[in-house]
Amino acid sequence: MGDMDIKRRALLTIVAMLGSALTYKYLYPLRYFFLAPRDVERVVSVRTKQNVFTHSNRSLVSVVEVGDVKEAVENAVKLIGGFKKLRLKGKEVLVKPNVNSDDPHPATTNPEVVRATVELLYEAGARRVVVGDMSGIYWLPTKQSMEKTGIAKAVLQAGAELAFFEEEEWVAMAPPQANYLKSFSIPRRVYEAEVLISLPVIKTHRYATYSMSLKNFVGIISSVDRRKLHTSRYMEEMIAEINLAATPDLIIMDGTRSMVAGGPTSGSVKETNVILASGDRVAIDVVGLSIVKSFNEWERVAEIGIWEQRQIKRAVELGLGANSCEDIEVVSAGDSQAFMRLVEFIKRAITE
């Protein structure tokens, strides 16, 4: 065999390897983009749950300054009533972080917030904890995104299990209240969750204005349904309607860092150093938006009243949470001057 034949064979081998790699990276995710989940059972009832984290009929939202992450998560939940409100002993808990991409936090949930949450759930008596999500189409498979962000490692070290929703069994829903996304599929695991905890981030979003608690549930719909959402001028209303499919028992919002302009994968990042907790996804988004508003960098938040945000307005119409500032009570813990100024700003902003 001559030198030319050897070089030609080596070149063909390299080309074949590159082709395989590109096929896996770009064509593998596309199967989820074009193919709807198969053999989907249609479910007619929408499972709703009562917010147990209230005081005098007002939804509690805690804002806690972070020193130690686990301590901050524990304090944030304790301020609104504690994990005991969920009666976790012997129960299975599904935790839904934001793993839309493989970018570091705040584009995705801080792995240390995920770790702390899992550990605290077990300490509160949970029998089993599963952490699951489905990444955006360009970042599938979710397993790789979880590994790259460090979330997979944190979850496994804390003793929980991983779930990648694109690999799961799905159910189809058609909530009668939905006007913009009238039917969609969600993982059966989410629909049947005994306890569901959402771990969103605080970030702005070029297309959806912002991504916090309400938008975290975009991660529970199929890629085919996401395609409908991302090509619609009613994207923000659709985001609210997705939340008709499932109700989180508790939301723990990661504000260790926040993206206050740009997004969703990159933008202006600030060390906001807070953890929020609530049982009301509208109320906690209102507080999260106040934090973004305090930096005055994202016109679509800075120049619009929080209650006029399209996600919020549609969520209020659907009865998904607080209807106004009168339905929210902000409680806080922290002693730095910057933190106290932020809390004062939040209390003013939610009334505008």
Q: Write down the pLDDT at residue 21.
A: 44
Alpha carbon distance, N-terminus to C-terminus of the chain: 80
Give residue 48's pLDDT: 75
Q: Which residues lie across from 255 on neighbouring strands? A: 274
Mean pLDDT by 10 residues, the chain (352 residues): 52 49 51 58 75 97 98 98 98 98 97 98 98 95 98 98 96 94 96 97 97 98 93 97 96 98 96 98 98 97 96 98 98 97 98 90
How many residues are recorded in the chain?
A: 352
**Inter-helix orientation angle 69-79/111-123, to 10°:** 60
Who's near 39: CB < 8 A, 6+ residues apart?
Answer: none
Please give the pLDDT value at position 157: 98
Count CB atoms within 10 A of the CB of residue 218. 22
Task: Classify residue 317 as exposed, middle or buried by CB count within 10 Å of its CB (0-12, 13-18, 19+).
Answer: middle
CA-CA-CA-CA torsion sign (33, 39, 45, 50): negative
Q: What are phi and psi of 99, to 5 degrees?
A: -125, 50
